[in-house]
Amino acid sequence: MNKQECSGVFVFIEQVEQKVAGVSFELIGKGKELAVELNTDLIAVLMGYNVEGIADDLAYHGAEQVIMINDPALETYMTEPYVKAMTAVVNKYKPEIVLFGATAIGRDMAPRVSARVHTGLTADCTKLEVQEDTKDLLMTRPAFGGNIMATIRCPEHRPQMATVRPGVMQKYTAAEKIPCKVDRLEVPDLADSKNVEILEILKKVSEKMDIKDARILISGGRGMGSAENFALLEDLAEVLGGTVAASRAAVDAGWQEKDSQVGQTGNTVRPNLYIACGISGAIQHLAGMEESDIIIAINKDETAPIFEIADFGVIGDASKIVPMLTQAIKAQRK
């Protein structure tokens, strides 16, 4: 695609059963910043079936323009119809930048779109910025298990495409709904493009709040000593209105479910408050939580790496300190 004729920052809006993924709102927030810097527009690309109502939701989060493909073939995510629809958008509108969430959907769909339109794709970015002189997008991402960071450019090909890790960009929330223009797009033959059949959908049962959406996380590691001691973290989470998370060690020990795991192979989180209890802070764990606004660490081992990044650290046994902290907070609340 010719560089000169491409413009606009396009964001793929991921929705499952009409519920928009948090990362899509984060991308609208980041995309708006980039669009301002590039003196262009932010455009949300919404696809699915019966998704008309979602456009309002997007407007609350800062989208002024939406391209909507509303088609029964897009009701449930399947690779080919989604890739075909997104490719049609790219070919018709010639965006300068296209962003996807680095989710199980985005990481399946974006590689095929980029291969189909012959452009570059940078995976799992944690930072996006505009290069001053070239106005190219600089995409920074962790590699080597989070041990190094690499900044990637896509100098000649357009659009510049990236998947962005959930939880690292700031959502934008408008005080009220902003006016939003919706363009409907019809893409022919989406139903015929299906090359995979869905036999069954099995939902994982979880009543817990998604840790990526939690504002306060109480996270436990090997130092909690047992599954039973995680009940202490639940108590603290309850008085603070938070959610319990865990390190890989605690998940591997079977003390917590995998969906509550923070770190390189789990979830990246960015809460207002992260209390790390009995977590030593392996680099893979730190990679998943170091962007938290305030980090408090409680650990017996004063040499634990978690203390290197904690804003506030307490050397001590988390299983003793946590219940006292819960009591002290309850006392404050009276």
Partner 1 sequence: MNIIVCIKQVPNTTEVRLDPNTGTLIRDGVPSIINPDDKAGLEAALRLKDEHGGKVILVSMGPLQADVALREGLAMGADEAYLISDRLFGGADTWATSSTIASAIRKIGNFDLIITGRQAIDGDTAQVGPQIAEHLGIANISYAEDIKIEGNSVIVKRQYEDRYHILKSKLPCLITALAEMNVPRYMKPGGIMDAYENKEIKIFTRQNLDIEDENIGLKGSPTRVLKSFTKQVKGKGIVVSLNAAESADWIVEILKEKFIL
Q: Which residue type occupies 114?
A: S
18 forms part of the interface with partner 1 (CB under 8 A) = no
127 forms part of the interface with partner 1 (CB under 8 A) = no
Token output for 241: 């209105």
156 forms part of the interface with partner 1 (CB under 8 A) = yes
Question: How buried is 95 (Cβ within 10 angstroms: 0-12 exposed, 13-18 middle, 19+ buried)?
Answer: buried
Chain centre distance of CA 201: 23
134 forms part of the interface with partner 1 (CB under 8 A) = no
Lay out the site mask for partner 1 across 245-274 (x = CB under 8 A, - = otherwise).
Answer: --------------x------------xx-
334 forms part of the interface with partner 1 (CB under 8 A) = no
Select 234 or 259, whichever has its Cβ closest to partner 1: 259
Q: How far apart are CA 189 and CA 204, in angstroms?
A: 32
Nearest alpha-carbon partner for 152 in 129, 122, 126, 124 = 122
Q: How far is CA 222 from CA 85, 183, 211, 281, in A?
A: 46, 52, 19, 10
Residue of 38, 88, 152, 185 that binds partner 1 (CB under 8 A): 152
189 forms part of the interface with partner 1 (CB under 8 A) = no
243, 265 Cβ separation under 8 angstroms: no
| Residue located via tokens 């695609």 | 1
47, 85 Cβ separation under 8 angstroms: yes
82, 47 Cβ separation under 8 angstroms: yes
202 forms part of the interface with partner 1 (CB under 8 A) = yes
Q: How far is the CB of 329 from partner 1 (least distance, A)?
A: 6
Lay out the site mask for partner 1 across 77-116 (x = CB under 8 A, - = otherwise).
Answer: --xx----------------------xxx-xx-xxx-xxx
- In sequence order, the β-bridge partners of residue 31 are none
Nearest alpha-carbon partner for 88 in 116, 64, 115, 66 = 116
Q: How far is the CB of 248 from partner 1 (least distance, A)?
A: 11
311 forms part of the interface with partner 1 (CB under 8 A) = yes
Select 16 or 178, whichever has its Cβ closest to partner 1: 16
Select 184 or 312, whichever has its Cβ closest to partner 1: 312
Select 66 or 98, whichever has its Cβ closest to partner 1: 98
Residue of 62, 142, 266, 288 that binds partner 1 (CB under 8 A): 142
Q: Quick one: which segment of 24-32, 41-49, 62-70, 310-318 binds partner 1 (CB under 8 A)?
A: 310-318
Q: How far is the CB of 312 from partner 1 (least distance, A)?
A: 5
Q: Quick one: which segment of 52-60, 64-72, 191-199, 221-229 binds partner 1 (CB under 8 A)?
A: 191-199
Token output for 144: 């080597």
Q: Report the site for partner 1 in 216-235 (rule: CB under 8 A).
A: 216
Q: How far is the CB of 208 from partner 1 (least distance, A)?
A: 11
Q: How far is the CB of 274 from partner 1 (least distance, A)?
A: 12
Nearest alpha-carbon partner for 74 in 60, 64, 89, 93 = 89
Q: How far from each other are the two terminal CA atoms of the chain, in whole angstroms?
A: 64
Q: How far is the CB of 64 from partner 1 (least distance, A)?
A: 29
300, 317 Cβ separation under 8 angstroms: yes
Select 174 or 198, whichever has its Cβ closest to partner 1: 198
Q: Using CA atoms in the order 153, 155, 158, 159, what is the torsion angle rounded to 10 degrees?
A: 20
4 forms part of the interface with partner 1 (CB under 8 A) = no
